[in-house]
Amino acid sequence: MDYTIRKAVANDVDSIFRLINELAIFENEPEAVIITPESLREDGFGAVPKFDCFIAESTEEVLGIALVYMRYSTWKGEVLHLEDLIVSEKARGKGIGGALLTEVIKFGNDLGVKRIGWEVIDWNTPAIEFYEHIGANVMRDWHVVQLDEKGIENYLAKR
C-alpha cells in the first residue's frame, strides 16, 4: 500500500475526527468522545494551536494519525506526549503505525525533548510488543490516573 506522511492541516479535521471515533469504537468506548470537529479545528489549527498532528494518507484517504503535544516533566524538562497513534483498521499491518511513530520521534528529536511518552491499553498486545521491540519502556508498574469533568466538579464541591 502506497502512503505518505505529512503534517495535518485544518482541512484534515473531518478525517482526524473519523479516526478518533474509530479508535473509541476499537477501545469499546464510543460514547467517550465528546470533542467536535469544530473544537478540533480551533484547538489544533486556531490562533494558538494546542497540538500537532501527523497524517498518513493514500491517494484516496487518510489512513492514520499521530497527535502530539508538549508537556513539562519536573525531572526531565520539556517532553512530547503522543496522545493517540491511530491507524484505520483496514490499513493495519502495513507499516503505517511505525511510519507515523518514526515521524513523531523525528519531530520530538528536532524539538530537543528529553522524552516522548504515551499510554497503551493493556489488552493491545500487538502494540505493546511493537513498542518493546523498538526499545520503548512499557512501564507496567504505573497506573494512569484521571479526573473527568464530573470528578473535577465532585472534588471541588467537597472542598
Q: Do 79 and 115 form a contact (C-beta atoms < 8 A)?
A: yes
Q: In this structure, what C-alpha cell is assigned to residue 117?
A: 511518552
* Residue tagged active-site, from 3, 72, 131, 155: 131
- 69: annotated active-site residue: no
Q: Which residues contact 93 (CB under 8 A, 6 or more apart)?
A: none
Q: Facing residues of 55 across strands? A: 6, 65
Active centre residues (catalytic): 131
